[in-house]
């Protein structure tokens, strides 16, 4: 889809870990242009370079550095007569998102959110374009859609996204009855400054508040089926153990699964490898942020590793490896994904691109039609 006029977008929580990734990934985006930045009262009124401690390894774009951080309010009046864009990427803590995201949706914005606040709400889509784009239909169930046109769409928890992308091709061919997953999650997943260095250096913290519950519930919703106006979660058992480890970026997960009976015979290693290699998503491919190969196989017996594999597909591909029989369930493997790209900002940008391609961000669709 060729786009001539870029669509203005805003970032809520622009100064944080995920907010910074949005700025990095949206620089030179072919369809979207950052026109509005907002954060807390601590940052509002300052220039972005004063307000944010830039933590990424590419330079802060000069245009963004000089932009003024605005109050996190949708009204033009609160924004010094600057109108707020109709497409908002949100990177707020869940407690704040719970109040703020509906306010922006009610004001007519498409809110594309990273937070957990509404991921499990029955009328809010939790979406990975390559996996369950059809769940976007839930947008039409939100009251704001019929009143102002605004709505909320969410992307998954950073540990759920890699797991679900690895599981989807397996679920389609064989079915899945049980999932046992142990995560090793990077420190950037806790935002900035996150976990104190004295707590994490040379250490593993076997607890991330609320993470196991999110990983278990979101996995089943993402792999679930849209039935009329509701998503019926996948009927399977999931058990998650979540750990914080001394890795900067990239969540690694050790997974064991018990397969269903869709194939009619026991699946072989070749069957599983073929399911990953031959996976062709119905949606998502060809969008600007989509990787050519969403699931990459690493044949070496000591891969994937965060430092070596997290940037595959510009951080948007997940890497699977170490597939072998599991003596307790059926099969076990390792999956790795970049937590602030595929697991956060990149996921939200891909969702926005999907919405644009489906004509749900109208100005983009109009621009496309003129092209």
Ligand X SMILES: NC(=O)c1ccc[n+]([C@@H]2O[C@H](COP(=O)([O-])OP(=O)(O)OC[C@H]3O[C@@H](n4cnc5c(N)ncnc54)[C@H](OP(=O)(O)O)[C@@H]3O)[C@@H](O)[C@H]2O)c1
φ, ψ of residue 82 to 5 degrees: the values are: -85, 130
Angle between helices 346-357 and 362-370 (to 10 degrees): 60
Give the total of residues touching ligand X (CB under 6 A): 28
> In the bound complex, what is the minimum distance in angstroms from residue 204's beta carbon to ligand X?
18
Catalytic residues: 158, 251
Give the CA diameter of the chain.
65
Please select the residue that binds ligand X; options are 5, 65, 96, 274, rule is CB under 6 A: 96
> In the bound complex, what is the minimum distance in angstroms from residue 10's beta carbon to ligand X?
12
Please select the residue that binds ligand X; options are 24, 79, 115, 219, rule is CB under 6 A: 115
**Distance between CA atoms of residues 140 and 124, nearest Å:** 9
Segment contacting ligand X by CB under 6 A, of 15-23, 200-208, 210-218, 321-329? 15-23
Which two tokens mark 178? Answer: 């049980």
> In the bound complex, what is the minimum distance in angstroms from residue 85's beta carbon to ligand X?
16
Residue tagged 């070749």 (tokens) = 270
Interface positions, 191-220, toward ligand X (CB under 6 A): 191-192
> In the bound complex, what is the minimum distance in angstroms from residue 186's beta carbon to ligand X?
7
> In the bound complex, what is the minimum distance in angstroms from residue 272's beta carbon to ligand X?
28
Segment contacting ligand X by CB under 6 A, of 38-46, 217-225, 255-263, 297-305? 38-46
For ligand X, the closer of residues 267 and 350 by Cβ is 350
Interface positions, 147-176, toward ligand X (CB under 6 A): 158
Please select the residue that binds ligand X; options are 3, 7, 9, 18, rule is CB under 6 A: 18
- Write the CA distances from 123 to 133, 145, 213, 233, integer angstroms: 15, 11, 20, 14
Interface positions, 120-149, toward ligand X (CB under 6 A): none
**Distance between CA atoms of residues 341 and 22, nearest Å:** 9
> In the bound complex, what is the minimum distance in angstroms from residue 263's beta carbon to ligand X?
34
DSSP H or E segment with residue 272: helix 269-277
**Distance between CA atoms of residues 148 and 75, nearest Å:** 14
Segment contacting ligand X by CB under 6 A, of 40-48, 221-229, 258-266, 288-296? 40-48
Segment contacting ligand X by CB under 6 A, of 87-95, 164-172, 269-277, 291-299? 87-95
Please select the residue that binds ligand X; options are 3, 7, 9, 17, rule is CB under 6 A: 17
Count of C-beta atoms within a 10 Å radius of residue 290: 22
Q: Is 170 left (phi over 0), alpha (psi -120 to 50) or beta?
A: alpha
Interface positions, 52-81, toward ligand X (CB under 6 A): 72
Which two tokens mark 128? Answer: 């990975």
Please select the residue that binds ligand X; options are 3, 7, 9, 19, rule is CB under 6 A: 19
Q: Is 88 in the site for ligand X (CB under 6 A)?
A: no
Please select the residue that binds ligand X; options are 84, 92, 110, 195, rule is CB under 6 A: 92
Q: Is 228 left (phi over 0), alpha (psi -120 to 50) or beta?
A: left
Residues facing residue 239 across a β-bridge: 180
DSSP state, residue 266:
P
**Distance between CA atoms of residues 134 and 317, nearest Å:** 21
φ, ψ of residue 178 to 5 degrees: the values are: -140, 145
Q: Is 336 in the site for ligand X (CB under 6 A)?
A: no
Count of C-beta atoms within a 10 Å radius of residue 318: 29
Please select the residue that binds ligand X; options are 188, 256, 289, 337, rule is CB under 6 A: 188
> In the bound complex, what is the minimum distance in angstroms from residue 116's beta carbon to ligand X?
6
**Distance between CA atoms of residues 340 and 316, nearest Å:** 10
Q: Is 189 in the site for ligand X (CB under 6 A)?
A: yes
Interface residue list for ligand X (CB under 6 A):
13-19, 39-40, 42-43, 72, 91-94, 96, 114-115, 158, 188-189, 191-192, 339-340, 343-344
């Amino acid at each position: 889809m060729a786009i001539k006029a870029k669509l203005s977008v805003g970032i809520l929580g622009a100064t944080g870990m995920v907010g910074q990734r949005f700025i990095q990934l949206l620089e030179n985006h072919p369809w979207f242009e950052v026109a509005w930045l907002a954060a807390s009262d601590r940052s509002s009124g300052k220039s972005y370079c004063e307000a944010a401690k830039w933590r990424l390894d590419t330079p802060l774009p000069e245009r963004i550095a000089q932009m003024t951080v605005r109050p996190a309010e949708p009204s033009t009046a609160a924004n010094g007569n600057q109108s707020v864009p109709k497409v908002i990427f949100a990177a707020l803590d869940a407690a704040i998102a719970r109040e703020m995201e509906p306010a922006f949706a009610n004001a007519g914005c498409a809110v594309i959110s990273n937070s957990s606040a509404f991921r499990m709400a029955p009328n809010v889509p939790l979406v990975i374009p390559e996996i369950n784009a059809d769940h976007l239909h839930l947008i039409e169930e939100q009251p704001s859609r019929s009143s102002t046109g605004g709505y909320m769409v969410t992307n998954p928890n950073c540990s759920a996204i890699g797991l679900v992308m690895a599981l989807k091709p397996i679920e389609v061919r064989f079915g899945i009855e049980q999932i046992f997953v142990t995560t090793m999650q990077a420190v950037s997943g806790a935002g900035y400054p996150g976990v104190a260095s004295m707590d994490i250096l040379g250490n593993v913290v076997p607890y991330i508040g609320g993470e196991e519950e999110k990983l278990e519930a979101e996995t089943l919703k993402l792999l679930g089926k849209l039935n009329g106006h509701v998503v019926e979660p996948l009927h399977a058992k999931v058990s998650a153990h979540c750990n914080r480890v001394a890795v900067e970026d990239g969540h690694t997960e050790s997974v064991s699964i018990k397969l269903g009976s869709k194939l009619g015979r026991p699946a072989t290693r070749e069957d599983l490898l073929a399911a990953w290699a031959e996976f062709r998503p119905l949606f998502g491919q060809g969008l600007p942020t989509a990787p050519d190969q969403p699931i990459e196989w690493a044949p070496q017996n000591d891969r994937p590793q965060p430092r070596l594999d997290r940037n595959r597909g510009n951080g948007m591909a997940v890497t699977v490896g170490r597939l072998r029989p599991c003596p307790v369930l059926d099969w076990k493997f390792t999956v790795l994904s970049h937590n602030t790209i595929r697991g956060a900002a990149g996921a939200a940008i891909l969702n926005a691109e999907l919405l644009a391609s489906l004509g749900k961000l109208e100005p983009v669709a109009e621009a496309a039609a003129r092209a």
